[in-house]
């Protein structure tokens, strides 16, 4: 029986590595964005609390 063409495992491995890098980068960006939002919300809550205590 005739064999088909050889599989290109080298390119497949490189592609997988590249995709994993991309996924990890996106994950890190999401975490950083969430931390920035959390810090901003905390800052705004603190400012709101101090403004309310000044009014009273």
pTM: 0.64
CA–CA separation, 42 and 24 (whole Å): 27
Sign of the C-alpha dihedral computed for residues 17, 21, 27 and 28 taken in this order: positive
CA–CA separation, 41 and 13 (whole Å): 42
Q: Which residue has the tokens 């603190």?
A: 46
Where are the domains positioned within the chain?
Answer: 32-56
Quote the pLDDT of residue 16. Answer: 94
Going residue by residue through the chain (56 aa), what tens digit of pLDDT does each one get?
A: 567 777 788 899 999 999 999 999 999 999 999 999 999 999 999 999 888 776 55
Quote the pLDDT of residue 55. Answer: 59
Length of the chain in terms of residues written: 56
Quote the pLDDT of residue 2. Answer: 63
């Amino acid at each position: 029986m005739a064999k088909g063409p050889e599989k290109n495992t080298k390119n497949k491995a490189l592609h997988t590595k590249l995709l994993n890098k991309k996924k990890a980068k996106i994950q890190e960006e999401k975490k950083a964005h969430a931390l920035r939002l959390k810090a901003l919300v905390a800052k705004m809550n603190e400012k709101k609390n101090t403004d309310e205590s000044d009014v009273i």
